[in-house]
A and B are shown apart, each in its own frame.
Chain A
Amino acid sequence: MATSLSLPRVQSANPVPGVLRLVPGLALLVAIGYAGKVLERMVNTYTKTRHLTFPNIEYVLWAILIGLAISNILTIPKIFHAGIATYEFWLKIGIVLLGSRFVLGDVLKLGGVSLGLVVVEISLSLLLMTWLGRVFKLRPKLTTLLAVGSSICGVSAIIAAKGAIAADDEDSTFAIAAILALGALALFTFPVIGHSLHMNDTTYGLWAGLGVDNTAEATAAGALYSDSAGKLAALAKTTRNATIGFVVLAYALYWAKRGQASTVTNKAAFLWNKFPKFVLGFLGISLLVTFHTFSKDQVTALANLSRWAFLLTFAGVGLRTNFREMSKQGLRPFIVGALGEVLIAVLTLGLVLGAHRIWGI
């Protein structure tokens, strides 16, 4: 992700060997994650011993808040950037290991429900964002990027679509800025709405997975509600991610037909290329757990490893979110994104509540 918002990738000209360059940033992610755990325990003990009424702030929120404070108050030295940028890698590892918490039957059942909801969500979101883009007279390719980003998979989808439809850097930066800013807002608004509507973990988790755009933020928004909701949010979001190839292919064909992008010669290769491979890893681990390859204690250890991988991700989400940078990106794409997101959030909320009534999820 080489945008003005994200942290720069490792440059090959750097004299320090590859893996060593990741150490400072990685150490920072681990330190923030650990500090989140310690703070959760300390605050809980303090409030309990003094009989104070204080909401239980989970380590997830502490990790995000510490990251946010560091990135918005201080300037993060360059030496940390490469390591911090690995948060996406930990996210994917966390999702693969999360497979240990679903036997294949659950994946098929919940994944099936998610897939049904995802198809409806993506279709309506794409139509809605395209319409909003036209109303606000955004550049057509910027509208496409915002539509792809808000309907499927946030930043990854925008990057995948950018190459496929030959969009320029400015458009993708705008779209990424809007999606990231709105993802940060969703982190704090979704749990509040969920609690005020007394949603159960399953419906809330599905809603977070369908309504929040970026995978890291969707998982965090779920985990902020409860551990079980976080698990469901990641599953629903992973289902959404799996559709990325089909939507990007459709847009690539559309822009190629208009002569504004190169033609797609091998559609199957295109789909495989865009398919998020970690989904297969998730299914693989789930399959191993289903066939009792691991003992109960080992499954618990896998779940803990997954939680730790997510914790590093959440620390990275906080560190990556810089409100000053976001405010520089222009208002119109943000307004279109925000309007679209609010409508998509309402729409997906209606979808999961409907599914809850019909299928009792």
Chain B
Amino acid sequence: MTSKTNEKHKSFRLSLDAWAVIVAFALALATRLDIFKKVPW
């Protein structure tokens, strides 16, 4: 990969914060669908 392609590739990488928000919302959606209903917390 050239440095320009590298730069472009890098700009599409999500930050840790963004990943955390995505995973948390995925968990929230799963909760909304009652997937965790029977989990013995």
Instruction: State which of A280, A284, A294, A308 has its C-beta within 8 Å of the C-beta of B41.
Output: A308
B 1-41 contacts with A by CB, 8 A: 15-21, 23-25, 27-28, 31-32, 34, 36-37, 39, 41
Complex contact A278–B21 (CB within 8 A): yes
CB distance from A285 to the nearest CB of B (A): 6
Q: Count A-B contacts at CB 8 Å.
A: 66
Complex contact B21–A96 (CB within 8 A): yes
* Chain A residues near B28 (CB-CB < 8 A): 97, 100, 285, 288, 294, 302
Complex contact B25–A294 (CB within 8 A): no
A 287-315 contacts with B by CB, 8 A: 288, 293-294, 297-298, 301-302, 304-305, 307-308
Complex contact B31–A302 (CB within 8 A): yes
Within 8 Å of chain B (Cβ to Cβ): is A145? no
Within 8 Å of chain B (Cβ to Cβ): is A276? yes
CB distance from A270 to the nearest CB of B (A): 15
Of B28, B36, B41, the most chain A CB neighbours within 10 A belong to B28
Complex contact B39–A304 (CB within 8 A): yes
Identify the closest chain A residue to B15 (Cβ). A277
Identify the closest chain A residue to B34 (Cβ). A298
User: With A89-B16, A304-B41, A308-B41 given, is the CB distance from A298 to B31 under 8 Å?
Assistant: yes
The complex places the Cα of A293 from the Cα of B28 at a distance, in Å, of 10
Instruction: State which of B18, B20, B24, B32 has its C-beta within 8 Å of the C-beta of A294.
Output: B32
Identify the closest chain B residue to A37 (Cβ). B41
Complex contact B31–A92 (CB within 8 A): no
Complex contact A97–B24 (CB within 8 A): yes
* Chain B residues near A293 (CB-CB < 8 A): 32
Main secondary structure of the interface of B (DSSP, over half): helix
Within 8 Å of chain B (Cβ to Cβ): is A227? no
* Chain B residues near A305 (CB-CB < 8 A): 27, 31, 36
The complex places the Cα of A301 from the Cα of B19 at a distance, in Å, of 21
Instruction: State which of B19, B24, B37 has its C-beta within 8 Å of the C-beta of A297.
Output: B37
Complex contact B32–A93 (CB within 8 A): no
User: With A288-B28, A305-B36 given, is the CB distance from A278 to B41 under 8 Å?
Assistant: no
Complex contact B31–A96 (CB within 8 A): no
* Chain A residues near B24 (CB-CB < 8 A): 92-93, 96-97, 278, 281, 285
Instruction: State which of B18, B27, B34, B36 has its C-beta within 8 Å of the C-beta of A277.
Output: B18
The complex places the Cα of A288 from the Cα of B37 at a distance, in Å, of 19
User: With A97-B28, A288-B28 given, is the CB distance from A92 to B20 under 8 Å?
Assistant: yes
